[in-house]
Amino acid sequence: MPSDPNIGKREREVLTAIVETFISTGEPVGSRTLARSNREGLSPATIRNVMADLSDAGFLEQRYSSSGRVPTPEAYRYYVEQITGDARLAPQEENMISDSLAGISDVQEFMERTSRVLSLISRNVGVTVAVSGTKNALEHVYFSRLGDQKVLAVLVTRSGVVRDRVLRLDLGQDELDLAARYINDNFRGWTMESMRAELARRIEQERSEYDRLMNSIEKLYKQGALASEPGAQVVFVEGAANLLTGEEDRKRLQEMLQTLEEKEKVAQLLGAYLDVKQEAVRVVIGLDDTLPSMQNFVLIGAPARSGTDMVGSLAVIGPTRMDYQHTMTAVSYIARLFDKILNESE
């Protein structure tokens, strides 16, 4: 673990220049390269002394004795801390995002398109997770008889999550339509948890008054037609091929791609680092605490909210050598758009 030196203005400028040069070129950075672009006109010898101090502090490393320096994870962390939130995307990028997300009224569709947009803008991996939980309010249900002993139950929430399941039930279409109408008329806007609790109460208390109707609803209820599956997650991953250009270790690349294909691990990764209460974009450098195969990788992410409810998360995953400012700005911009777009579609 690097020490925590008192980094002065000169050290900060040299470290920033090294990080940005390495991000841009991918090549170790030498003192002569920095001297040519240094605003203060520092000599290569002076810069070498500063680089030596930064190396001793754990911010730089030298992979080969004859090469320049490259940033360590601690250098990237320090660099990210210095980034302000004043940057903006280029107008053409904002237009591209708006065009890509236009007309969406469904959380899962938003997340699917967002993973693609993040991948294109960052040239890394775009990852999104749509979470369906008990706080989702009911928009409507629909039941359709598929054949003997088979019923399709479709449940749509206000936040745009759609769930469907096939039940083993013998009910006619008239009975299914009557049950759907009763649920939609009485429970539209209710949270899933409250609706199920109230339905269970009514099934017992109103059985005699609506015997046939309540019998149908009871059968649907017991077969899980209205189950919300708290914590169920839909994961979208786009742009894994972008990693092929930057990773020389083929075995490690194979492990990373395998991790990204396992959607549960991706959801675990975002769940470990993105807090429900967080407001700003979070940058995590080094993901191996959660997944060993993601060492020296970065997650830049934010929660996605509809009103006060967190209904998912979005992030970019890539190597430590990435454009942090640009990616953080893009993630922040899309996270802010999320609530606005869904509210406009209602």
CB 144 within 8 A of CB 119: no
At 288-316, the pLDDT tens digits run: 888 887 878 899 999 887 766 677 889 99
Domains in the chain: boundaries:
9-72, 91-133+231-345, 138-222
Residue with the bigger pLDDT between 181 and 225: it is 181
At 237-273, the pLDDT tens digits run: 998 888 776 555 566 667 777 777 787 788 888 888 8
List helix spans (H) across the chain: 9-25, 31-37, 44-56, 73-82, 91-101, 107-122, 173-187, 192-205, 211-222, 250-261, 263-273, 324-345
- The pLDDT of residue 201 is 80
CA 31 centroid distance within chain: 38
Side-by-side strand order, sheet with 138-147: 138-147, 150-157, 162-167
Report in angstroms the alpha-carbon separations of 43 from 11, 123, 160, 173, 279. Answer: 14, 36, 60, 84, 43
Determine the Cα–Cα distance for residues 120 and 324; give it in Å rounded to an integer.
15
User: CA 158, 160, 165, 170: dihedral to nearest 10 degrees?
Assistant: 40
- Fold designation for 9-72: Arc Repressor Mutant, subunit A (1.10.10)
- The pLDDT of residue 136 is 63
Mean of pLDDT values over 204-222: 71
pLDDT exceeds 80 at position 89: yes
Residue with the bigger pLDDT between 134 and 223: it is 223
Structure tokens at 242: 């972008």
- The pLDDT of residue 207 is 60
At 326-336, the pLDDT tens digits run: 999 999 999 88
Determine the Cα–Cα distance for residues 331 and 125; give it in Å rounded to an integer.
12
- The pLDDT of residue 139 is 85
The contacts of residue 223 (CB under 8 Å, 6+ apart) are 151, 153, 167, 168, 169
Q: What CATH homologous superfamily does 91-133+231-345 map to?
A: GAF domain (3.30.450.40)
Point out the least confidently predicted range of 30-39, 75-84, 136-145, 223-232. 223-232
Determine the Cα–Cα distance for residues 155 and 75; give it in Å rounded to an integer.
49
Percent of the chain at pLDDT exceeding 90 = 26
- The pLDDT of residue 134 is 42
| φ/ψ of residue 29, rounded to 5 | -105, 130
The contacts of residue 291 (CB under 8 Å, 6+ apart) are 259, 265, 268, 269
Determine the Cα–Cα distance for residues 235 and 263; give it in Å rounded to an integer.
6
Among residues 335, 331, 272, 307, which one has the least CA distance to residue 125?
Answer: 331
In order, the DSSP letters of 216-241 are HHHHHHHTTTT---TTEEEEEEE-GG
Give pTM, 2 decimals: 0.71
CATH class of 138-222: alpha beta
Residue with the bigger pLDDT between 149 and 251: it is 149
pLDDT exceeds 60 at position 133: no
- Chain length of the chain: 346
At 218-245, the pLDDT tens digits run: 778 777 677 655 556 788 899 888 877 6
- The pLDDT of residue 210 is 60
Residue with the bigger pLDDT between 41 and 76: it is 76
Helix (H, G, I), strand (E, B) or coil at 134: coil
Q: Output the average pLDDT for the chain.
A: 82
- The pLDDT of residue 66 is 67
Mean of pLDDT values over 204-214: 67
Q: For the purposes of burial, counting CB atoms within 10 Å of the CB of 343, is it exposed (0-12), middle (13-18) or buried (19 or more)?
A: exposed
